[in-house]
A and B are shown apart, each in its own frame.
Chain A
Amino acid sequence: MSDFSNKWIINEYRKLRQAVVSGDRVLVLKTVRQLLESGVDPLRVVNQGLVSGMDAVGNMFRDNEMFMPDVLMSARAMNEGINLVRRIRRTPARRPLGKIVIGTVSGDIHDIGKNVVKIMLENGGFLVYDQGVNVEPRQFADAVKKHKAQILALSAQLTTAMLNMKTTIAAVEAAGMKDKVKVIIGGSATFQDFADEIGAHGYAPDASAAVHRCRELLESNSCGRQRGPNLKIVK
């Protein structure tokens, strides 16, 4: 490959990342198409352009430089870009970093925080199974089993419901999944000491930290699949 085409490609990646950051779907699709037509490896288009743009979005959101609706627009642009790569190059779906079951514990119906965490986890490359709100311990345990999730994420805003996190952990253990799943908790009622006290493996105060913590948990989880910082397109 010539220097010129190298420069061109690097520039196109930058453009693609920027288009993801600004949620510009039209520009994302146009750039992806151009890159693929010039014969660039589709995996690189995804990782160095689309996913890397979304990583930047995650950081900007963490640093309060972007609002939630902007993040959603970026996520949509990235997903459309990935879908285009799949259509043109017939590459199958991307493989998730890991599977997470999420929900708000029994007795609590606050779900906005939980939904924000879900969005950020999905954007961060996880496959998330949302159980909704007011979820009974048994339902969590069943969902973890059914989806073979590596992480269980529990949310609670009410002090009168937070102890149900403990009950949920007990239900998961009773279902024989103690060593198969890591539990992360969050929500305004919770804190690190409480997580330690009830035997959760992790706690995060906000959605960006939740993504980071889930990545760490997965790395420490012996049942975790192969993973890396970027999404993988697999055959």
Chain B
Amino acid sequence: MDYKPVKTFNELAVKSLDDFIYGIAPYPVTAKNGMVIGGGAVYPEINMTLPPITVDESTMPEVRKQYAEMIEGILKRAKALHAPGIIVELELLPPTTIEPKWGIEINKILREKMYEYEEKYGLKSLLRCTPNDTREIMRPPLMRRGDLLESIFTTFEKCAEDGADILSIETTGGKEVHDEALVTCDIRKAIFALGVLGVRDMRFIWSKIVEIAEQTGSIAGGDTACGFANTALALAEQSMIPRVFAAVDRVATVPRTLAGFEVGAVGPDKDCGYEGPYMKAIAGVPISMEGKTAACAHLSSIGNVAACVCDMWSNESVQNIKLLSAPAPVVYTEQLIYDCRLMNEAAAEGRSYALKLRDWLADSDSRLDPQAYVLRPDIVLEISKELVKEKDAFIATKKAAALAVDVLKRGMAAGEVQVLPKEKKWLDIISSQIETIPDDWQEFWHEMQKELDLSKWRPEEYDLEVTAAKTASAG
């Protein structure tokens, strides 16, 4: 079955650089309690996780206690600091997704406390529910059937019925191929994984999530290329792959993440999707971002630039461990609230101040790292403008990678971005790899069948037919 887009984006939603700003999205999203995301203010989004613990029946009482403690601390701090509102993300773990009743229970614990704070103290809050993409646990994964997938959908459905406001997930379709592409820095494979496999899986899974959101009155938020470009970011951070490769890969994820919005998701997308600014530029959806405040989860070179056009500001995730002042989730709540305050205060003074702050955020990072450079608002708009001209997501993916290379080369030549000497040759290597990719996806798929290990993933789970083997046996 083909899961077709219900929307296409032929032109930019953000019309000019001056309209590309934090807190304001062309298509804001209004939640049941009246909170508007992308309607003028940036809100903090806090995410938390358990300290070392095995999750099973015997430890569930402790797990419940941990979540109850975390949410109480978070809301108390948000109230004390007069947060105008807060978003809480429940990123479920594999065991709490595989066993939906546990995830559902935790979701309830959080939601009830959040309702309580809203009723008692007027602290508005939204709960984002993010089940784990457990399909990957089985290898090669079943992407479109099986108990693991059913548990994901059950979790979404029940958590939404119980009051989860926003539905999200970090899907992994295509990652089976993309992981290898990263370690070998093979942009051909990366483009296949993202532009063919990733896009197909996104259309499939997000069509279902959008359906659940419609039935339950919740918001189909959006996805993230975490398993793809954040893996690249983590690898680049450890000097395992060139930063320029990670930067190009990030831009190449744009059509894949956009596929969720093409089948009806409306934002806010997930915090760890650093490709978010491209979503906002093209689809006009509000976005959640994370940067320096996510140093608890992973290091990066994009701590400030990530905030330029965010509508929610997040910490990715932090364990419930005690710091000198308070447990870490409480500490991060405080930091996020202060960051948002500053952004909102600047915006309240007038657009020019907000733009100034945005540019400071961009310029303080973008010269130092190619991954930051491709997130500079003007660069995002420049590349996005070209991408909306492409109707086919695969060609758009190839084009995105090529545009990123061109932009980086130009930036280097103009002295706008620093690239380490040992990385310089990589832009040429990537360019020449991209040139070998045909424009016809079927031809590309035919070529890739010979290059890929088909025992590691199941083409039929992506509606792909293995033709090369047939040709070989026919011949």
- Bound together, the chains give a CA A159 to CA B95 distance in angstroms of 12
Cβ distance B149 to chain A, nearest Cβ, rounded Å: 15
A69 touches B183 (CB 8 A): yes
Query: What does the 1/0 interface line of A35-68 toward B look like (CB < 8 Å)?
Result: 0000000000000000000000000000011011
Cβ distance B143 to chain A, nearest Cβ, rounded Å: 14
B253 sits at the interface (CB 8 A)? no
Task: Point out the residue from B49, B94, B182, B319 that lies within 8 Å of A112, measured CB to CB.
Answer: B182
Task: Point out the residue from B95, B231, B241, B319 that lies within 8 Å of A69, measured CB to CB.
Answer: B241
Residues in A whose Cβ lies below 8 Å from that of B53: 159-160, 163
- Bound together, the chains give a CA A161 to CA B49 distance in angstroms of 13
Q: A158-B93, A160-B93 are in contact. Are A67 and B185 (CB under 8 A)?
A: yes
Q: Which of B232-240, B367-375, B401-409 contacts A (4 or more CB under 8 A)?
A: B232-240
A160 touches B179 (CB 8 A): no
A160 touches B235 (CB 8 A): no
21 A-B residue pairs with Cβ-Cβ distance under 8 Å, sorted by A, are A67-B240, A67-B242, A72-B184, A107-B54, A109-B136, A109-B137, A111-B179, A112-B235, A115-B183, A132-B139, A134-B137, A159-B49, A160-B49, A160-B53, A160-B55, A160-B93, A160-B95, A163-B52, A163-B54, A164-B54, A189-B52
Known: A67-B185, A68-B184. 6 other contacts (CB 8 A): A68-B185, A68-B241, A107-B54, A164-B54, A167-B54, A189-B52
Residues in B whose Cβ lies below 8 Å from that of A160: 49-50, 52-55, 93-95
Q: Which residues of A contact B (CB under 8 A)?
A: 64-65, 67-69, 72, 107-109, 111-112, 115-116, 119, 132-134, 158-164, 167, 189, 206
Task: Point out the residue from A107, A119, A162 that lies within 8 Å of B94, measured CB to CB.
Answer: A107
- Bound together, the chains give a CA A212 to CA B236 distance in angstroms of 23
Residues in A whose Cβ lies below 8 Å from that of B95: 107, 160
Residues in A whose Cβ lies below 8 Å from that of B319: 159
Identify the interface centre among A107, A108, A119, A162: most chain B CB within 10 Å of its CB.
Answer: A107
Residues in A whose Cβ lies below 8 Å from that of B183: 68-69, 72, 112, 115-116, 119
Residues in B whose Cβ lies below 8 Å from that of A134: 137
- Bound together, the chains give a CA A120 to CA B50 distance in angstroms of 32
- Bound together, the chains give a CA A111 to CA B239 distance in angstroms of 18
Residues in A whose Cβ lies below 8 Å from that of B5: none
B49 closest partner in A (C-beta): A159
A167 closest partner in B (C-beta): B54
Q: What is the interface of chain B mostly: helix, strand, loop, or mixed?
A: loop
- Bound together, the chains give a CA A134 to CA B138 distance in angstroms of 8
B51 sits at the interface (CB 8 A)? yes
Residues in B40-99 with C-beta less than 8 Å from chain A: 49-55, 93-95
A69 closest partner in B (C-beta): B185
Residues in B whose Cβ lies below 8 Å from that of A167: 54
- Bound together, the chains give a CA A112 to CA B183 distance in angstroms of 8
Query: What does the 1/0 interface line of B417-459 toward A look like (CB < 8 Å)?
Result: 0000010000000000000000000000000000000000000
Residues in B whose Cβ lies below 8 Å from that of A72: 183-184
- Bound together, the chains give a CA A164 to CA B93 distance in angstroms of 15
Residues in A whose Cβ lies below 8 Å from that of B422: 65, 67
B423 closest partner in A (C-beta): A67
Residues in B whose Cβ lies below 8 Å from that of A163: 52-54
Residues in A whose Cβ lies below 8 Å from that of B94: 107-109, 158, 160
Residues in B whose Cβ lies below 8 Å from that of A67: 185, 239-242, 422
A194 closest partner in B (C-beta): B52
Q: A67-B239, A107-B94 are in contact. Are A133 and B139 (CB under 8 A)?
A: yes
Residues in B whose Cβ lies below 8 Å from that of A64: 239
Cβ distance B257 to chain A, nearest Cβ, rounded Å: 20
Residues in A whose Cβ lies below 8 Å from that of B50: 159-160
Identify the interface centre among B49, B183, B319: most chain A CB within 10 Å of its CB.
Answer: B183
Query: What does the 1/0 interface line of B221-234 toward A look like (CB < 8 Å)?
Result: 00000000001000
Residues in A whose Cβ lies below 8 Å from that of B52: 159-160, 162-163, 189
- Bound together, the chains give a CA A109 to CA B184 distance in angstroms of 20
- Bound together, the chains give a CA A104 to CA B184 distance in angstroms of 21
Cβ distance B297 to chain A, nearest Cβ, rounded Å: 10
Cβ distance B473 to chain A, nearest Cβ, rounded Å: 29
- Bound together, the chains give a CA A159 to CA B321 distance in angstroms of 12
Residues in B whose Cβ lies below 8 Å from that of A189: 52
Residues in B whose Cβ lies below 8 Å from that of A164: 54
